[in-house]
A and B are shown apart, each in its own frame.
Chain A
């Protein structure tokens, strides 16, 4: 098992490095001069040259890359071309906000998907099971930001129970924090919950068809207890894989949801940086997002190995 995990870790590190080159390369091919963008068209050639030197973009690309990635290791993402502020601290700040959003969204998704998926699976031949699968199919089709718009309309505009947007950090006011988090988390979680319900359902149905579940019933367990004691662990293997992919989807979904609810997370930072043509900032954010996705995949692979004794014993 250790060998397996080490192998996975190696793949993760290599992938992360290749991804960083890709991110850097994508933005390096960009036509246009960051110095020009920063200074405007009226800038003198001397000032432009000086600024290019300041940004470090007059040097060869390879040097620029190693400079950048070296800094990233110590949390230094460079200074913004636009605001001249260091990018790192703001990135960490915004990432924290987005993590709250993603975590809460995942929680909502799980709270919906686990019971609904298991129920729909156990009753998949009956009407009640079909209703749940139908609803989940419908939920998958509604984009998160449409769900967000509807939720805002109902709970913020009509009922006035919750704020339509904005962000209060948890240390400032926990209650405001929670009420502000609720609608964004629901917007993210409802849709992902619907997706997840379908996976939970199909993997529980697969497990229900397994011979060892019949054995469990032959031992004297009722169908529900047989599923709880013998089914869920085995059904969880494919679900964990999907959960990992979903975390990535949630992270990207948060970009859109942050825009709807005016939340100062990584997504809003990215969109602002893109519209300001603040390339170094874009580069940093994209790297962090891609690394997060890769990290989640790595953790999923490890969990997969741990949950599956066939893999655990191998090697």
Chain B
């Protein structure tokens, strides 16, 4: 039974497609990484799952949660509000601006419980908030609860965000580049915390990042996104050791500081990510792909067998 099911998600602005035919599931308690460069549509996909898309983005397809009896795409704001923060929660990229500057952080943690009535009153919610702040390993949680956001560091604020997200034991937690804005040393501890916290609670995790190393540390399964499409899926081990899609291989080569090309330079993917609406027809990667052939003018379909799949006519290492 999967906690989150996304089916044929299509997102567009003024007729320009941004995300095309994205389908995936996240099992209960499973940790899945959604990886891609900026402009790949990964954050937009996460935003769509939360139902927090800006007004100008049109969505089609289906997003369902295991314990919610309606589709989230096309749901009313009221319906969505009941689901957000209760059944699923999100940690955003920018810890510096994601908290209300004029409200004590303890109250901001307590608020999410009071909104959904998971604690009977203010006092109980406040006590629970202090407990949660302790669980995300903030020092002196009772004191931290009385602080304003500007008195905390970026890493501490992101822990507060995590405490807020976990407060109502949601079935699904979405993290959108939660460590990108943090120092490297703080990053590692934050990732460890996200991993253990979701493991302990059996929370399904959808982790959005551009950083392969982060996925390898945190997730069990990975979805690779490019040009608004999923191009490769599979377990972290399979995808990272035997990538099938040339784009995935390019990403891996680019992050491998020991792999060099024939000129002794670090490998990169040729060209740059096109702007929205400027991807080629057919396979979206074909204008940057060294293996592209005439077949690529037609869009390859992502075919999955046992959670392993890729969308490519000329996969790395030949057809599986």
Contacts and interface: CB of A to CB of B under 8 A. Distances in A.
B313 interface: no
Contact of B102 (A219, A220, A222, A308): A308
A310 B150 contact: yes
A310 B100 CA distance: 12
A309 B148 contact: yes
Interface stretch (A24-32, A208-216, A255-263): A208-216
A230 interface: yes
A212 B83 contact: no
Interface in A180-231: 210-212, 214-223, 225, 229-230
B92 A211 contact: yes
Contact of B56 (A125, A217, A310): A125
A222 B99 contact: no
Interface in B74-99: 77-78, 81-86, 89-90, 92, 94, 97-99
* Centre residue among A217, A219, A225, A229 by max chain B CB count within 10 A: A219
Interface in B83-124: 83-86, 89-90, 92, 94, 97-103, 111-112, 115-116
B111 A212 contact: no
B26 interface: no
Contacts of B89: 218-219
A215 B98 contact: yes
A307 interface: yes
A211 B95 CA distance: 9
A221 B111 CA distance: 10
Interface residues of A, number: 24
Contact of A222 (B77, B92, B112): B77
A109 to B, nearest CB: 24
Contacts of A310: 101, 148, 150
Contacts, number: 74
Given A309-B150, A310-B150, A218 B100 contact: no
A214 B101 contact: no
A214 B176 CA distance: 13
A106 B55 CA distance: 35
A234 interface: yes
Contacts of A215: 92, 98-100, 161, 164
B124 to A, nearest CB: 17
A233 interface: yes
B303 to A, nearest CB: 34
A234 B100 contact: yes
Contacts of A222: 77-78, 81
A220 B55 contact: no
B115 A210 contact: no
A125 B55 CA distance: 9
B9 interface: no
A313 interface: yes
A230 B103 contact: yes
B68 interface: no
B97 A219 contact: no
B185 interface: no
A307 B112 contact: no
Given A215-B164, A219-B111, A307-B102, A313 B148 contact: yes
Contacts of B92: 211, 214-215, 218
Interface string A225-256: 10001100110000000000000000000000
B260 interface: no
A219 B148 contact: no
B208 interface: no
Contact of A216 (B97, B100, B101, B151): B100
Interface string A283-315: 000000000000000000000000111100100
B98 A211 contact: yes
A220 B115 contact: yes
B101 A218 contact: no
Nearest to A125: B55
Nearest to A210: B97
B85 A220 contact: yes
A211 B101 CA distance: 11
B148 A220 contact: no
A313 B150 CA distance: 10
Interface in B56-79: 56, 77-78
Given A215-B98, A215-B161, A221 B150 contact: no
Contacts of B116: 220
Contacts of B55: 125
A220 B112 contact: yes
B99 A221 contact: no
B287 to A, nearest CB: 34
Interface in B204-222: none
Contact of B84 (A210, A218, A229): A218
7 contacts: A217-B84, A218-B52, A218-B85, A219-B85, A219-B164, A220-B84, A222-B78
Interface of A: 125, 210-212, 214-223, 225, 229-230, 233-234, 307-310, 313
Given A218-B50, A220-B86, 16 more contacts: A212-B99, A215-B164, A216-B100, A217-B52, A217-B81, A218-B85, A220-B82, A220-B115, A221-B115, A222-B78, A229-B111, A230-B103, A233-B102, A234-B100, A309-B148, A310-B101
